[in-house]
Amino acid sequence: MNKNNLRMYNKISPKLGSNVYVDQSSVLIGDITLGNDVSVWPLVAARGDVNTILIGDRTNIQDGTVLHVTRKSVSNPEGNPLIIGDDVTVGHKCMLHGCTLGNRILVGMGAIIMDGAVIEDDVFIGAGALVPPHKTLTSGYLYVGNPVKQIRLLKDSEQDFLSKSAINYVDLKNEYLAQL
């Protein structure tokens, strides 16, 4: 981490929990709060400029992902903050914009989740999926496609993998921190 990749906007700087790793090539701007044991990997761009970004404990945001929000307006007085729960794995090159993700979620590589979408706990989203604005994905299912469709209930092994994936990234993050 370096000071250049954590930038103030409107006098608000990103806030980091304990034991956090933010790769030096990533940029976090403005009203962003990272929980404990979060990892933000290379080339992530996160802009908490016109609303808030909250990221829960043990969540990992992988390479090339873009995180942004929707500004408050007359038609949408609260705008759309970006809220990501605990133990979430966000795969490479995802786009998360003004949506809400619960806990223990895997977002496959290249997925796009749009404004106002709500992803409940314990969900797998397949690579390349598009979650349209204001869509809710129900807990316990696999979703794939463009637009996203509910495919089937998660298997027990997949359900177990959701937490394991988060822990694997906590371990990897700790290896990176040990080298700094």
pLDDT confidence tier of residue 2, bands split at 50, 70 and 90 = low
* Partners of residue 141 on adjacent β-strands: 153
pLDDT confidence tier of residue 3, bands split at 50, 70 and 90 = low
Look at residue 4 in the predicted model and tell me its pLDDT.
81
pTM attached to this predicted model: 0.96
Residue pair 174/19 in contact (Cβ under 8 Å)? The answer is yes
The answer, yes or no, to whether residue 1 has pLDDT greater than 80, is: no
d(CA 69, CA 45): 12
pLDDT digits (tens, 9 = 90+) for 97-147: 999 999 999 999 999 999 999 999 999 999 999 999 999 999 999 999 999
Q: Residue 101 corresponds to which tokens in the numbers above?
A: 């993700």
pLDDT digits (tens, 9 = 90+) for 15-72: 999 999 999 999 999 999 999 999 999 999 999 999 999 999 999 999 999 999 999 9
Per-residue burial over 52-65, b = 16 or more CB atoms within 10 Å of its CB, e = otherwise:
bbbbbbbbbbbbbb
Q: What is the largest CA-CA distance in the chain?
A: 48
Q: Residue 68 corresponds to which tokens in the numbers above?
A: 């942004």
| Full domain range(s) for residue 71 | 3-179
* Domains identified in the chain, total number: 1
On average, the pLDDT of the chain sits at 97
pLDDT digits (tens, 9 = 90+) for 75-109: 999 999 999 999 999 999 999 999 999 999 999 99
Q: What's the CATH number where 72 sits? A: 2.160.10.10
pLDDT digits (tens, 9 = 90+) for 153-176: 999 999 999 999 999 999 999 999
* Partners of residue 22 on adjacent β-strands: 40
